Structure 1
Amino acid sequence: MPAKGADPVCVKSAAAWPASVSGRASVATDPSDPAVHAWGDPAIVARCGVATPGPTTDDCLTVNGVDWVATPLSDGTRFVTYGRDPALEVLIPKGDVPEGSLLPAFTSAAQALPETGHHCS
């Protein structure tokens, strides 16, 4: 479970998980945790309650009014909401190009999280 996964706002955010992401159906996570959700195989994984990122030189993009910090990983890309606390993390496997095009599916879940006043610049 993410550090702040039990936070009531994560419960509200999790209620807005999309039914599918880019045609991928929801799949079970192990262990099961309401703050964590996955879709497809290889899975796109979303976790509410991760640490809020501070200032960074990583790419920051705005999608549907939600700011996301993008960090390349060896097996895909990690997107974390910027300016929301707690933060929402979306892990997108390598090969889902462009990765950022999947973020609109998470707009409602991200918008359920309180804003801190920080934005991509």
Structure 2
Amino acid sequence: MNASRRLRSPLVPCSLALLIACAGCSSTDDGGTAAVPSPGSGVARLCRDLDGELPRKVNGLARHDPKPASPLTAGWGDPAIILRCGVPRPAKMNDPEADGVTVNGVGWLLQKRDDGSFRFTTTLRKAYVEVTIPEERTQDGVGPLTDFAAPIEKAIPKGIA
């Protein structure tokens, strides 16, 4: 019996620590995670300006920013619609057959991803802004992009990044 108690003793604290760590990672607590882009200083300034213009709600979903916290990333809802500003120019923009859409004056490259989500990246702007809409939210089509049009128009000038 003593051996049994000795074996359980070290496992209980480890199991408890693992359970607490997993609970802290729950995506219902925040906007999940997003890789933070690393643009040059000029683009980073434009992205910080955009962050100050972003809406508190997108498509009716409250803002819950992803981790790590950064003015270059933002999120809404769970599963989160994720915005990343200052991303590199997607190679798909070189493809003349690439799909695109214009929403309220902002052009977007459209890419369907293998997981069923959609990635939209702004075109003809001084900084590339990427919005990823998870598969669970794609029933609204490009609806969420309407909430980004005015902030992008205001903070990210037209041109080529």
TM-score relative to the length of structure 1: 0.87
Aligned pair partner of 2:146 in 84, 87, 104: 104
CA deviations 1:70-96 (Å, max 9, x no partner) are 000123000000111211100001132
Aligned pair partner of 1:50 in 69, 81, 87: 87
Return the index of the structure with the highest Cα Rg. Answer: 2
Letter in 2 for 1:44: I
Matches within 5 A, 1:1-80: 1-4=36-39, 7-53=44-90, 54-56=93-95, 57-75=97-115, 76-80=117-121
Q: Is the 2:79–2:136 contact (alpha carbons within 8 Å) kept by the matching residues of 1?
A: no
Q: Is the 1:13–1:113 contact (alpha carbons within 8 Å) kept by the matching residues of 2?
A: yes
**Cα distance change of structure 1 residues 37 and 5 upon mapping to structure 2, 3 Å threshold:** farther
Matched residues in 1 for 2:136 and 2:40: separation?
Answer: 28
Matched residues in 2 for 1:31 and 1:12: separation?
Answer: 19
Query: What SS does structure 1 have at the residue aligned with 2:63?
Result: strand
Matched residues in 2 for 1:60 and 1:45: separation?
Answer: 19
Matched residues in 2 for 1:41 and 1:21: separation?
Answer: 12
Letter in 2 for 1:105: D
Structure 1: 4+ residue segments shifted above 6 A: none
Shift of 1:21: 1.1
Matched residues in 2 for 1:29 and 1:102: separation?
Answer: 17
Letter in 1 for 2:39: K
Query: Is 1:91 the counterpart of 2:128 in the alignment?
Result: no
TM-score relative to the length of structure 2: 0.67
Shift of 1:29: 1.5
Q: Percent identity?
A: 34
Q: Is the 2:54–2:151 contact (alpha carbons within 8 Å) kept by the matching residues of 1?
A: yes
Q: Relative contact order, CA 8 A, sep 6+: which one is greater? A: 1
Count of equivalent residues: 117
More helix by share: 2
Matched residues in 1 for 2:69 and 2:61: separation?
Answer: 19
